[in-house]
Structure 1
Amino acid sequence: MQWKNVSIQSSADRDKAKTMLRFNVCVWTVWLLYAGAVCEEDTGACELRPCHNSGVCQSHQDGYRCLCPRQSTDGPLYGGPNCTDALPGCDGNPCKNDGVCSPLFQDNQQAYTCSCRAGFTGSRCQTSTAFSFETSGYMHIETRLPSPEKTLNVTLSFRTDRPFGTLLQSRADDLLFTVELVQGRLRLSTRRGQRSGEPVVSELPLSAADGKWHTMEAWLGSEEDRSGLRLVQPACDEVGCARESAATRAPQPEQGDDLPEPGLVHRSLFLGGVGQGFGEGEAESADLAAYFLGCFRDVFVASRLVVPATPGDSLAQVNVTAGCGGQDECEDSPCQRRGQCVSRGWRRHICQCYRPYEGTVDCAEEYITAGFGDGDTASYAVFSLDDTLDSGSIAISMFVRTRTLSGLLLVMANSTSQYLHLWLDGGHVKVQAISSESLVGHRAVSDGHFHLVTVQLEGNLATLFHSAQRQGSIRVRPVAVQPGDMVYVGGLADQRDSGPFGGHLKGCVQDLRINRKRLQFFPIATPVASYQLEKLVDVTMGCSSDDVCTDNPCLNGGACYSMRDDFICICQPHTGGRLCEEVRWCELSPCPWTAACQPVANGFECVTNVTLRNDRTLSYRDNGKISRGLNTVLLSVRTRQTDATLLHAKRGSEFLTVSLQRSHLVLELQASGGQASHNVTIQSRTRLSDGHWHTVELSMEDPAQQISRWIAVLDGGKERGGGEHVMSEAPSGNLDFLREGADIFLGGLGPEAGGNLAGCLGPVQIGGLLLPYYEDTELSLPRPQDERFIMTHGGPSPQYGCWGASVCEPNPCLNQGACEDLFDTYLCTCPSDWTGPQCQNNADTCAVQPCVHGNCSVSGQGHVCSCEAGYTGARCEEDTDTCEDNGCGLGSTCLRGLVNYTCLCPRNMTGPLCNEKLPEVPWHISMISVSRGQMELQLFQRGELL
């Protein structure tokens, strides 16, 4: 046992902390209708802000004190009177095991302290406080405490998944205290040696056997003090996890019994279990269930830390391991072959293995496969049964692997007859019991793979399973298996007896079982319940087969490897398929660098774009080996030409033309369907002559018919965002005339008519066959496919790739505009200060103040003038004629104002528009003055001014 002093905050430290805290006192005053706050704050020297580097200043009557930060996440720490002294004590993080370092500056020296996480202690958190009991063991602690301290306090954290086990036992003279797990819950029991009756028991409500860390506190009192137990965890806040009981409830010793030594209280404490001689013989009868299996950490006995003994220490401990390595073994997935790991307590597990694997520890062992019929021999095995199996439930199961369609799998027989047969018929499993009707499985098992076959006999019902799938049931007479019955596997001793069931088996059998007992042809190391093997005739270990690679069926240099009555071909690079018959031509790099290799059926094609100009056309014919139906055309085009022939093909009166007319796509087709020719025309609404790539898909609506309507899909159709889908009104035939010597031209109507496409074509397909842009002489390998079109022109090769006119060299965009090539035209992206097709115009069109009497605002590449009142015109340069279309009455005069007009009425007329008559009154009107924006009138009557 080792005692470790623990750093606990003393009363002096607490007083020191109190002096470091000062509070500002605010006195709230309410008087009459006035409410306010009077705050007295002791600022003093802190007004000068003497503390640096995030230090907090606290004033007091003798000056101030700086509280410097103790931890930082983004920079160095500082200390000293003003938080200006760098504290490098934590550089390099001297604290181990994730301890948190805090630097110090004491007595003019740099130092540090480490705050350790749970499970570690020491000046640098270098010592683990955890230890474990991986099997039955204990740790013994013997102390003598002064009699005034009659209560022994124990605090510890523990972790286990076992619901039973003793955490500690303590003996104080004749009193025995036990803290243990009972059904996962902590229990404290107190009794007086062997002479007491039932112990005094206190039990906590929550389970603590869940493999997680839990902290408990126990205080073990003497005769006059109470004992108790507490579990520290958040869930206890709701249900309460503290129990206390009086030790004096235990029976008192009778007179004459041994009494404790005066002045001292003997304390004997065991952790994790009980040592020999403790508890007056109790330990001798204790079994493994009484021991604790799990981990302890941070164990404090009477406020002192307990850690395991090091070599040479005299601490009494048995099977104590430093550290906590007792994790759930299933976390490391010890079970192989997909076996399921099941935990069986602390550091114990079992593996539930999938068939045909075995091993409770790791499922690493596989039942040895038995081979039957190797070299066409009549092989078989015989087992004897040694127990009685009634018809209540008998299950016969095995793994079977074969490629033959017939053969005997299993026969069960007694001394008088054969009462169960299991065989292959047409590759399917067949079952017959005691001359009943036979049952045939639905799924074949003759594919060379292992299949789990099970026959279940229950009363008068026999059921066949293939893996876990039920294949059917039949009514049978109840089957009773007796000791001495025999099981034949693979065939019978007399070959003639095996004939009605397909003869001897040629294949493999593995993991044969009747109920839970095995029938092992070759025993495995793991001990399992098995029936007795009586005879093994020409049965081989493992699943070998005849050599079927003698004639090497693999093509293109492939290597043949024999399997069970089968073979596999290991192909050379760039080949594949079961017989290596498929050549991966594109892996041989047959195409020029300007093209991409595209695999096609039984070959390859080199794909690229081509540029056609200067009446250049490409011509093709079929190679005479095309047998597929031709009912589709796929091409892509990029041009700014409004009228051009893209594809033209003809043979006799039948022809196909795909062209651009006024930028619209036009399909013209005349093809025979039966005896007559049918002509159709399709024209798109979409314009294609915009310099962008466009795809064109042409196909028959119903390829199975001789004639059908044709469909044109542009740019993927509406499903792909904005394309077009057009269908012909009339039907026509297919394009099979193109495989019968038709001339096919790309880019024009042929050399005689002159090609007229100036643009680019992408890959062109007719019936899924590409029209090549390269001749065979330009490739490193000849095209191996049978069905293909061939080039017939003898001129120079086309220009590969899509190349428009060099419209951006030199740069046509002014004022540092960026030129974008849009195929034979360009687009200038201008800086923000410039606009126009070539960035030639200043974007700020209001800079020259074009508006004479108004405000200018920029609009697009121009400007708009908002005129002042009284002005009009594009530049607000014209006066507004307010008298135009005026409403003044007949004989009146319109007087133009800035915004409105005024009517000057003749005699006897009045009103705003001079359309009302005046009574006969001798009025006289005299005009004094009229000026822009203001008119002054003077009215006289009988010579007097009104």
Structure 2
Amino acid sequence: MYIETQLLDPEAPLNVTFSFRTARPVGTLWQHRVDNLLLRIELLDGHLSLRSLRGQGSSMLVQELPEHLSDSKWHTVEASLGGDVSLIKLLCTEGSCTRDFSTDIPLLEQASTLPDPGTVRQGLFIGVVGRNWGLSKVEDEAENPPAFLGCFRDVFVGSHLVLPVVAPGDSDAQANLTVGCSDTDKCDESPCQNRGRCVSQGWRSYTCDCQRPYEGHNCAEEYITARFGSKDLESYALFSLDDTPGDSLTISMFIRTRQTSGLLFILSNTTSQYVRLWLEGGRVIVQVNNFETLTGRGLVSDGHFHLVTIKLEKMEAVLLYSAQIQGSMSIRPIHAHAGDLVFIGGLPDSRASGSFGGYFKGCVQDLRINSKRLQFYPISTPVEFYSLKQLINVGQGCSSDNACANNPCLNGGVCYSMWDDFICNCPPNTAGRRCEEVKWCELSPCPATAICQPRSQGFECVSNVTFREGSSVLHYRSNGRIKQGLSSVSLRFRTRQNTATLLHAQKNLEYLTISVLDSNVVMELQTRRSTKITVHSQGPINDGEWHSVELSMENQVFPPSRWIMVVDRDVEELSVSKTAAGNLDFLREGADIFLGGLSLDAGASMSGCLGMVEIGWLPLPFFLDTELNLPRPQVEQFVRVNTDTAPHYGCWGSIVCTPNPCTNEGVCEDLFDLHHCKCPSEWTGLLCQYPSDTCNSSPCIYGNCTNLEGGFKCVCEPGYSGELCDVEVDMCENTNCGEGSTCIKGLQSYACLCPHNMTGLYCDEKIREIPWYIETSPLPQLPTSACTGTRWNYNCYNGGNCSDIDDTCYCLPGFVGVWCERDVDECASDPCMNGGFCVNYVNSFECVCEMNFSGIYCQIDASDFYLYLFLGLWQNLFQLVSYFVLRIDDEPEIEWAFHENE
């Protein structure tokens, strides 16, 4: 706001009084001029200060109040401006001020317009620094505080009220003034556009943190996009660095393209191009110092804008797409200097641009190096930027080329232009990006007996054909336009023959034969400069079912190679030739190919059906073009030569059920060249000629059934008897167990439990009695376990335990048998030497030696040692005494001698 005052006495001070309120720490409140003296009241860091400027001198601080006044409270200040001394004084602060003044205070009229430069000798600016007062360049160039943002009230100049008043409607002496004192947050009104973030500065002040590519106070201005390669012109831009950016560089830009290759950015000096960015395969590639290279993982050639950023910080380079890291690498430090050049989109030399995929075709927007912009077309918002030197064929905006100008759509397709691209609306019977693929099968080209199968650039009518021994074979040759390599064969067939020729192809000495030999599929191949190879299938295939066979080279790129056979797509049972052979390119021209036999003269040797047969993915067609509704359009074809003989279309087996071979009302089932009779329940046999199996119901419970005329016979298992083998035989009824032994019945067997003085399988062997003079420990009385079986209960003897296996026991060491009924005789092997007597114990034995021997087995001869003799005598004496002591209470013995009971 500008106010003119009367110039009465230049030496007299001007007295002003005002109240203000703000939260901003800086701002110009007053500016007063008398002649060449300029006085300014301003806020700096929240403190009120008075400054003066005279003539060509510099600004000087006159006074600064110690109170912090940027606290959103009302403060009243009195100032004396001009005269001998200029002063400012804080009269009061909100809460201690009173507003008591007369209502007839005279008003000071405001100026109607701003003063002309050089004509004003006295005047006031309130809330802002006065411009163009013509004092000096020093004042114009001085760094002044910003305009005051807050509220004024009760502003007096002398005794005249200045604010609040109503200014004339056409006055330009004031701006941005509103009645009242509102401190509402301006960010509540969402002033920032284009997704900009509003940052409140207090007192209706704000700044906008703009999202790229927008700039301006309210983010309303967008950086102008540069179009490169419009109408396929060679275009590029050249910038120059006006300063030295430093050792760390951040290069970023928005790019939009559908081109998968092209030069984006080059930063170079007089000796090298030390930073390069280009597109390859739709990905951004970064190269630093002509050596280190980094490739982005994602594609940017989809026609959308992508923010591409490369950060070069000391020893590392990081590539980002829209803040997503695409990769990083270690680099040698780079040094950019003032005067270095930046090329965008290409280089002046087209051959040099071709090394990086050619000139860029697309759009670039908001290009920056660090914080400085590289503007192809400047915007109105002031920003820091590097100088543009050249702009060659670079347009403004991001318009699209008319991709439909040359009508790229084929077969009646309608072209619709997209950004640097097109889309074809294809007729119903076509497909592909340019409608180049005709959907031939929708045009019904095949006869009713065949199924149409789409092929590359054409179609094929798929059917089966039937061969019988003696019928005509099918003869094929190439149409002479096959260019692709032939390295595979596939076919489908069904037969019950043990020997048959499926396919035979020959040209001079080179040939290929696929046949059935001994029920297996066999391939024989003889090519030039290789020996004959043979591949066999892993199993028989003459079961009358459909089988597929796929033959291919193991290495199709570098022949010769081994050949692989896969039957029924079972890759785990594949067969491989032992040696290598070449490919089938000899069939591309001049070769004869036969299906069903070896030649036309020999006739068909196959009896069965053939399905689709392909050589190198090219089919051998069963139908002639004259039999189709449309001719085949594909260029590369095998053509059937024998046009005078039509094959038997479809798959038909021989007649095996007419007349019905099945007797006794059996039903004949056709299994392709084989029949099967489904017999009534009372008949059986291949032709239902035999009565049904009387053993089918398994009448023998524990035996084998044998069919007899009018009945059956059961042969029982051991342990069972009866007509149906359902009666259990008592195995202990007639046994060989000796006298005094106990028969133990088992399943289909028995065992003999012997008394203490008998042994053997049938307890018929008497145990040798121990002489009276040999001391033995009594055998332990081991318990018997009663067990429950599924068919009967049984016992486990001699400490044996019941087993989870029916009718068996877990035995203690030293006992054997199904029920642990037999003690193992450890003396059976006669382990005692030199006449020693063996005493059998449970799971052990003891040798009682003669006088002259000792040791565990009586193996030591002690006859030459008196000490051993003396000890032996004492041992026998001790045994004798022990015997008398133990037998002192026994009945008299009949005799002392050792004897056996016969």
Q: Say whether the fold is shared (TM-score over 0.5).
A: no
Q: Which has the higher strand share?
A: 1
Larger radius of gyration: 2
TM-score by length of 2: 0.43
